[in-house]
Chain A
Amino acid sequence: MTGPILDIRGLRKSFGHVEVLRGIDLAVKPQELVFIIGPSGSGKSTLLRCCNRLEEPNAGTILVDGVDLMDRRTNINAMRRHIGMVFQSFNLYPHLSALSNVSLALRKVVKKSRAEAEALALTALERVGLREKAKSYPSELSGGQQQRVAIARALALEPTIMLFDEPTSALDPELVGSVLGVMRELKQDGMTMLVVSHEMRFARDAADRVIFMDHGLIVEEAPPSQIFTSPREPRTRTFIAELTR
């Protein structure tokens, strides 16, 4: 049995006087898809953003593939390419084509030649079904397509884990399916994923584990079948009743 890909212990984060994360312990095993749900302001996104230190934690340890991200000697930029991140608002670079969006870090971080980087970028775009859009600019793509390019951008760096921060919340309902489809395929290919989202149906059929967070703490965690039908904690029950209403 190999150890967890992501191992978080005692994670704390404050913004000013507000403690947003109040001691989080969370381990994600290889090939596991872990879902995080919870009311807004519960600290879900902050937790995700601490996993690649876009947000600087105040205390705790974060191990990714056994490497301590909080260690002074760890090169965070070198580690980040192994931690793919997908954002709610896509955050594609608007001045670059889809291909350049995906190949930029391959060239600058992984130091591939332009030709190599573009070949790898095309492969990544192919995986999200957008090879033919390589020359398009973000403004020429639908929201769903933009998000898939953003997934390809993370994927091209061959991450060991991918973080999804509400990847479908900014999409029109009819575009959500294409993005979830790509995520489903990633899961089938064995990608380890940590997902903040309220796509309950997706969680039900794809997630291995669902975590309910409230006020900066993990309140409950269970397999989706259990947490959605018979949650233990009253707070979880209220939240899920609200969500499925």
Chain B
Amino acid sequence: MEALLNQFFNLDIMARALPLVLTGLKQTLLLCIVVIPLGLAGGLLVALLSLVPWRVFRWATILAIDFFRAVPPLVLLIFVYSGLPFAGIRLTPLAAVAVAFLLNNSSYYGEVYRAGIESVGRGQWDAARSTGLTLTQTLRNVVLPQAIRNVLPDLISNTVEVVKLTSLASVIALPELLYSADMARSLTFNTSPIVLAAGFYLLMLWPLVRLVSRLERRIAS
């Protein structure tokens, strides 16, 4: 029992690893600040593109969405970071993560937004257009506010997934939370830094997970 505690919950080692793990946490937060708004914006763009009445255009968008949802994000990330240099495109780890996540997340967020837009009835469009609002004004003032409210739990759930996926950046040596904790583990030959990192993920995401549950219950009632 003692040995187990020592290996996983060694407070001494956690304290020693803390500065390193905290720099990792900072990197993870930075990644989130870059990647989440990009995904939210890209997803909205994708959802709006899939509404365009030209059939060829819509098919192209759907094909792109399907493609980036089917390709594992890790494959995409390694392709962008380690593959593209052979085509003369060399990105920093942060830029590579931003690009790979933009492609992957836009597809997921896009599908969520699209479901939201479709949940707003035809009558809302009719009413808005009949008063002279343009297509853009109708989207901005009438349809999107309702669409986003209807799929808010899914948007947040998806964001939780995105935060978790930022740990993939460790694979291309971006020193984010998992990477730093794993470095501390290999330096100390002890698992406690990993447990510490897991604790930080939990601290960040648990409130969001709770929020999703509450929102879902509110919408259901």
A-side residues, CB < 8 A to B, are 49, 52, 54, 77-81, 83-85, 87, 89, 91-95, 104-105, 108-109, 150, 153-154, 157
- Residues of B117-163 whose CB lies within 8 A of A: 121, 123-124, 126-134, 137, 141-142, 145-146, 149
B interface residue count range (under 10 / 10 to 19 / 20 to 34 / 35 or more): 10 to 19
13 contacts between A and B (CB under 8 A): A81-B131, A81-B132, A84-B130, A91-B126, A91-B127, A92-B127, A93-B146, A95-B149, A108-B133, A108-B141, A109-B131, A109-B132, A150-B127
Query: Once the chains bind, are A157 and B146 in contact (CB under 8 Å)?
Result: no
Query: Once the chains bind, are B141 and A52 in contact (CB under 8 Å)?
Result: no
Query: Once the chains bind, are A93 and B127 in contact (CB under 8 Å)?
Result: yes
How far apart sit A99 and B131, CA to CA, in the bound complex (Å)? 15
Contact of B142 among A77, A85, A93, A109 (CB under 8 A): A93
User: Given contacts A87-B123, A104-B141, is CB(A77)–CB(B130) below 8 Å?
Assistant: no
Chain A residues closer than 8 Å to B146, beta-carbon distance: 93-95
How far apart sit A62 and B127, CA to CA, in the bound complex (Å)? 20
Chain B residues closer than 8 Å to A95, beta-carbon distance: 145-146, 149
Please provide the 7 A-B residue pairs with the shortest distance between their CB atoms, ordered closest to farther: A105-B131, A91-B127, A91-B123, A81-B132, A85-B130, A109-B132, A80-B132
User: Given contacts A93-B142, A95-B149, is CB(A80)–CB(B127) below 8 Å?
Assistant: no
Chain B residues closer than 8 Å to A49, beta-carbon distance: 126
How far apart sit A241 and B123, CA to CA, in the bound complex (Å)? 33
How far apart sit A154 and B129, CA to CA, in the bound complex (Å)? 11
Query: Once the chains bind, are A77 and B141 in contact (CB under 8 Å)?
Result: no
Query: Once the chains bind, are A80 and B141 in contact (CB under 8 Å)?
Result: no
User: Given contacts A95-B149, A104-B141, is CB(A77)–CB(B134) below 8 Å?
Assistant: yes
- Residues of B166-182 whose CB lies within 8 A of A: none
Contact of B126 among A54, A105, A153 (CB under 8 A): A54
